[in-house]
Amino acid sequence: MARSVSRLDRIISELERLQREANEIYDAHVDVLMLDLRYGTSFGVTKMREIAEPAGLTINHVKALKLLRAKFVQPPQ
């Protein structure tokens, strides 16, 4: 059990790091797009339209793994 929790901790940490890097890339892309936009669209709306909506629905892997990890370390009921 401890080995599984340790492995989950490593995976969660790496996914969080990768997610931060990905968000930096998305934000930089949207920043460039915002420079070209001549109308008053907000950053959030532009990011949603250009990044989130085309990507479709995806599972939040970090959240899912944290929920699973909590089940491993939760005391039996």
Structure confidence by residue, pLDDT tens digits, 24-75 = 999 999 998 888 877 788 898 888 888 888 887 676 778 878 877 887 777 6
Per-residue model confidence (pLDDT) at position 57: 65
DSSP secondary structure, the chain, as one string: -HHHHHHHHHHHHHHHHHHHHHHHHHHHHHHHHHHH--S---HHHHHIIIIIHHH-----HHHHHHHHHHHHHSPP-
| pTM value > 0.75 | no
